[in-house]
Structure formats: structure tokens, C-alpha cells
Structure 1
Amino acid sequence: MKESFWTKLLFSFFAVGGIAFLGVIGFIFTAISGGLMFYTPLVVVLSVVIAIYVVLLIFNILSRKISRIVLLSIVGLSLLATAGYEIKAAYVSRLATVDDREVNLTLYEPFVENSKVVNLDEPADFHIDSNAPRLDGATALYPLYSAFVQSVYPVGKYDPYDYRNSQVLCTSTPEAYKRLIEGETDIIFVAAPSLAQQKHAKRKGVELKLTPIGREAFVFFVNKRNSVTGLAADQLKDIYAGKITNWKTVGGPSNRIRAFQRPEDSGSQTMLQKFMGDTPLMTPPQEDIADVMSGIIQQTSSYRNYKNALGYSFLFYASEMNQSGEITLLSIDGVKPDKKSIRSGQYPLATEFYAVTTRNDNPNIQPFLDWLQSSQGQELVEKTGYTSLK
């Protein structure tokens, strides 16, 4: 009897070790595959449950009938949980999103037939024939600086995604600031830098020069099924501070507010932080993702069009580049965001955007910046869909 117990204990030790080893392999595989939200925890739970089940079998604690019931229950519950997760994931993937990565920038590429980029009514009075500045910037501003390129740059191929060969890229606001500070590009078209970007430049001994080239509205939006069409600025601050958590509080349906945010140092996130001022910003909804190179990281969710969601962006991007009939732009303090309210100063969240440079020996940079603020440059700002400086 004693020997039988120790034999069973030895079998249990090896069985649990084998299950644990397979569990670790499953954990790593699901983590790398992006399954941190569901499949990785499922692997852990199943490993523990199966280990306990096997030990009970080895020690003959479960009868044959009960062991079958337990096994079927484990398999059935696992399948039900997986089916439920996949159904929810399929539903979420069908929801409209407002996300930079969904815009096909080649639609606005300069010197390409049928491009959506706008043109001047007459030839530009400024041209760059050689030594053209390298450009980069925010997704929302690419159609604008692509129009600048088409007006004054030499005819050529300027693929916004070709990092190796193109002089005109579009990498996003955080990456564009990083590349400018590191000397990898000459001019970037972006919103004002975040505090972290300013500190990065200072550490590198780089002075950022901001040349305003137009004005834009920072906008908030909701799902079209939401009855709320406008909010006060103070209400928005309370929502993003976590003080107001239900749409019912601001005249909407009785639903929890899902207030999305954007990644740190993006133009829209920097604008939200400036809007909040001294009011603390709450922790945003987050998704866990796995990256082979950087390990497990957390990234702020892009805005998804849940019926209870609240998102934000810039007017041109939300209404033109990533146009969706599923969202409603909110009026702020009773003022709707449009060119008229931006130009008049009535819309409270209007802001300038910039061509940002550092010290550079390229002789074409300053004349180009001057031209951006000229009547022709500002004509392209208006034609693209933004608001000119004057």
C-alpha cells in the first residue's frame, strides 16, 4: 500500500511536470500570437485544471463515470468560452473605427494619376529644382504637404511608405518628431510637440522651430445611435477625468461611457492633454498586445464605434480622410466644429498646426516655409480642407 502510494506520487510528479511544460509552450505561443486577452489565460487555467484532474485519476479518487463527466465538462466549458470569445471578437472587428492605419495614403500621393491631392489654380511662384527638403508628418496632414510637394517639388516618385528611397514620408506624429530630432528628416508637418517630445529635443541639444501654416479643430465624436449631440468643455473634462461615467449624466442614454484615448505623443493625445490642463487624465481603455521584439506591452485602443464610446481626432481627418457615417461630431459649448467657427474663433478647441524644423544647412528650407505662409500656400491649406491662417 505504501509503495503504491509513492509510485502514484511519482507518476503524479512526472505527469504534472509534463503538463506544466506543455502549458509553458502554450503560454509562449499564445502570447506571441496576440492571445493575451483570452487564449493565454485559458492555457494557464486549463493546465492547472488538467493537472488536478490527472492527479485525481492517478490516485483513483474519481470513479470512471465521474471522471468522464468531469472531462466532458472541461472540454465543453473550454469550447463554450472559446466560441463566446470568437463571436465577440468577430462583432468587434465589424465595428467602424477611426484609426490612422486604415487610411490608404497613396490615394493622396503627389504626381500620381487620379490622386486626390489638390492643385493651385495657377503655377506656383516658388520651385525647388534640387536639394529638396526631406518631409515627414502626421497622417492627417499628409494630403496637405503632398499638395505642397506637387506644387513646388521636382516631378518624381514620392511614396509615403517607402522609408528607404522616398524624400516625402508619412510615419505619424511621434515617429516624425523622433526622426526630426535625430536628423533623419528636415521638415515635419504636425501638431505642437508634447512635453516628452520637447524634453527629447532638449536632451539632444536640438531647438524645434514651429512655423504655423494653418488652423484646425480638435473634435470629439460619438456613435450616431447616441442621442448626445453636444457637450460643454467642462463636461468633457469631467468625463476624461473619470468623474462622469454614464451618458445619462449628460442627457444621453443610461450607458457607461467608454472614453477612448490615443497613444502617447500622438498629435490628438497631446491636444487632449493640453485641453485637460491641470485636470488629471484617467487611465484609458487598453488592449494587451504581444510583440516579439519588445515583449508584452500595453497600447491605447484606437477608437471603435461602440454605441457607448467617445472618441476624438482632428476635423479634417475624422470628416474627410476617415469619413464614417457611423459617428456624430459633437458641438462644444454649443458651437459646431466647421471652417466658419474655426475662422471666427467661436469654436473653443481650434488650434494651429505647424511645419516644424531644426537648424539645417539646406538653403531651400526657409524659402519653402515662407511660401507655405504665402497666399499660394494658404490657398492649398483651404483647398485641402483646413482653415488658413488669415
Structure 2
Amino acid sequence: MQRIKALISCICFFMASGAAAGAGLAADTLRINGSGSCLDLMKPLIQAYEKINRDVRVEMEPPLGSSGAVKALVAGSLDLAVNGRPLRPEEAAKGAHQQPYGRTPLAIVAGNGCPVTNITTRELEAIYNGTTTRWRNGEIIRLVLRPREDIDTRIMRSLSPGMDGAVSAALARPGMIVAVTDTDAYQTIVKTPGSLGAVGLTSVLVNRLPLVTLTLNGVRPLPRAVASGAYPLAKEIVFVTRPAPPPAVRKFLDFVHSPQGRAIAEKAGVLVAARHAPHE
């Protein structure tokens, strides 16, 4: 009889253990990826979200970039993409749905020790087209560029007609530094003497990057300056889902649009847009 009781006790124990393990496996897993500057914004949002949702586990691998994240999302390898640009028509045609979230300034930044705190459009044009090659203290200016089709490159081109041509000239010069991803860009600017480049403000603030953030034509790269139109360079932040996002995604998007989520994003340098329509 004692052996039977012991056997029953063991069976009950393993059943309870299995139920507990099953409950653990049932916890929501949220797989997020996207562009580097957008994932930097996700860091404080995810940290706050997990504090109030202990049953959620968020997986965020190194950035795939906007295009790579959309491909992974459509293939079912991601639950949510956070992109630095709107969807392309061919991406939407494959079933990706976008929800614009806001904009963050694309800041003109330089390495520590930069002798200036302001730069003008005309000065940027001269640096990019190669006419100006040194800072006022004599140090060589080392531009950190982005690939030709990158959204940051297109934003820089939009600053002025002269800047459009200057960016083309810079990309055509041999020996230029070209950083493929957002993370590569700011890490390269940090470690390169005399560096100059452009980085999303979210990355600067969230990572506390040791960089000099320059004013552009006397205007600081702040969300309110983007809102007023005084600061002309800004990156989009767009959430991308599949047509019927799982409950874990819908719940997370509700959080990022909540007053707490908006406050976190604004502190990270984002001009958060109004949520025009709820997710489907």
C-alpha cells in the first residue's frame, strides 16, 4: 500500500511539473527586428513592457535592416518589424501591413573633439563634394557615408539640390568610408578621428553615444523642431505586421501607443504621431 501511495505521489508530481512546464511554454514570445535606429528605440520600450508583462518574452536579434526584417516577417520568422521607412509597394503586395508611429531627427554628428558645434547646409555641401577636407583646427574630416540606396542617404540628399549632387560626389570618390547598417555607422563615427556623419537621434540618446551632435543652420535636431519644420532631416518609424497579427503583437502595439509608451518614445527622441486607426 505504501508503494502504491508513493507511486501515486510521483505521478501527481510529474503531472504538476508538466503542467507548470506547459504554462511556461505557453508564455507569449514576441520576435522583433528592423533597422538599427528603430531597434534602439525598442530597447527602453521592451524593458518597460516586460516589467508589467512578466509572461512575455521578447526576442530581438542584431538588426536585419528594414528590407531584411520585412522579408523575415512575411516568411513567418518575425512577429513585428520596426522600420526606418514606409513599405515599398512590392512589400505591401506580399501581405505586409504598416502602422506609422512617428519620426526622429536624423542628426548630423561628429566625433568627440570636433571643433564646431554648428554646421550649415553650404558647409555640408562643401564637405561632401570634397571642397572642404579639414576642420578649422586642421584635422582631416573623415566622412562616414551610407550606401547609395539607404534611406539615410536619401534623406541627406533631400536637404538641398546642392547636397544631392554633393552626396553623389562623395559616394563616387575612392577610399570613402561606407557603413552598411545604422549600428555600423555610429560605431564607426565614434571610433574614427575627425569623423562626420548622420545618425538617428534615437540611437544617440538611447545608447548615450560619445558624439558631438551638431546644430544644422543653428537648429538643434529635436522632435519639436521636426514638428515645426525648422529641422528638415527626419527618419520615419514604422511598425510592420502580417495581415492578422497575433495577440502578443496587438498587445505590444497597444502599449507603445499608450501614454506610457509615448512618453518613453518621446524621451528617446521620437515625435510620436497620432494613432489614426486601431490594428485589425
Q: Does 1:335 align with 2:219?
A: yes
Listed as ranges, the gaps of 5+ residues in structure 2 are 1-25, 179-183, 275-280
Listed as ranges, the gaps of 5+ residues in structure 1 are 1-128, 159-165, 288-298
Q: What is the 5 A alignment of 1:1-390?
A: 133-137=30-34, 138=36, 139-147=39-47, 149-150=49-50, 153-158=53-58, 166=59, 168-174=60-66, 175-192=68-85, 198=88, 201=91, 205-240=93-128, 242-247=129-134, 252-262=136-146, 269-277=150-158, 279-280=164-165, 281=168, 282-283=170-171, 285-286=176-177, 302-324=188-210, 327-360=211-244, 362-363=246-247, 365-366=249-250, 368-384=252-268, 386-389=270-273
Q: Identity rate of aligned residues, in percent? A: 21
Post-superposition shift, 1:335? 0.5
Q: Secondary structure at the match of 2:127?
A: helix
Q: Assess, with a 3 A threshold, how the Cα gap between structure 1 residues 348 and 274 changes in structure 2: closer, same or farther.
A: closer
Q: Assess, with a 3 A threshold, how the Cα gap between structure 1 residues 142 and 389 changes in structure 2: closer, same or farther.
A: same
Question: What whole-Å deviation, never above 9, does each CA across 1:103-158 have from its counterpart, x for those lacking one?
Answer: xxxxxxxxxxxxxxxxxxxxxxxxxx965543223342231441464266443554
Post-superposition shift, 1:314? 1.4
Output the aligned Cα RMSD: 3.6
Q: Assess, with a 3 A threshold, how the Cα gap between structure 1 residues 177 and 223 changes in structure 2: closer, same or farther.
A: same
Cα distance between partner residues in 1 of 2:113 and 2:54: 48
The answer as to whether partners of 1:142 and 1:170 remain within 8 angstroms in 2 is no
Cα distance between partner residues in 1 of 2:61 and 2:112: 34
AA of the residue aligned to 1:315: L
Post-superposition shift, 1:259? 1.0
AA of the residue aligned to 2:94: V
Cα distance between partner residues in 2 of 1:342 and 1:142: 21
The answer as to whether partners of 2:222 and 2:269 remain within 8 angstroms in 1 is no
The answer as to whether partners of 1:206 and 1:358 remain within 8 angstroms in 2 is no
Higher strand share: 2
Cα distance between partner residues in 1 of 2:76 and 2:224: 38
The answer as to whether partners of 2:146 and 2:152 remain within 8 angstroms in 1 is no
Question: What whole-Å deviation, never above 9, does each CA across 1:235-254 have from its counterpart, x for those lacking one?
Answer: 324533x2433236xxx244
Cα distance between partner residues in 1 of 2:226 and 2:73: 29
Q: Assess, with a 3 A threshold, how the Cα gap between structure 1 residues 319 and 156 changes in structure 2: closer, same or farther.
A: closer
The answer as to whether partners of 1:261 and 1:302 remain within 8 angstroms in 2 is no
| Alignment partner, residue 7 of structure 2 | none
Post-superposition shift, 1:276? 0.4
Q: Secondary structure at the match of 1:376?
A: helix
Cα distance between partner residues in 2 of 1:264 and 1:176: 19
| Alignment partner, residue 31 of structure 1 | none
Post-superposition shift, 1:262? 3.5
- Given the two structures, how large is their TM-score scaled by the length of structure 2? 0.64
Q: Assess, with a 3 A threshold, how the Cα gap between structure 1 residues 170 and 155 changes in structure 2: closer, same or farther.
A: farther
Q: Secondary structure at the match of 1:355?
A: strand
Post-superposition shift, 1:200? 6.3
Post-superposition shift, 1:260? 0.8
AA of the residue aligned to 1:173: G
The answer as to whether partners of 2:144 and 2:197 remain within 8 angstroms in 1 is yes
Post-superposition shift, 1:258? 1.7
Structure number with the bigger relative contact order (C-alpha 8 A, sep ≥ 6) is: 2
Cα distance between partner residues in 1 of 2:32 and 2:111: 35
Q: Assess, with a 3 A threshold, how the Cα gap between structure 1 residues 213 and 343 changes in structure 2: closer, same or farther.
A: same
AA of the residue aligned to 1:177: V
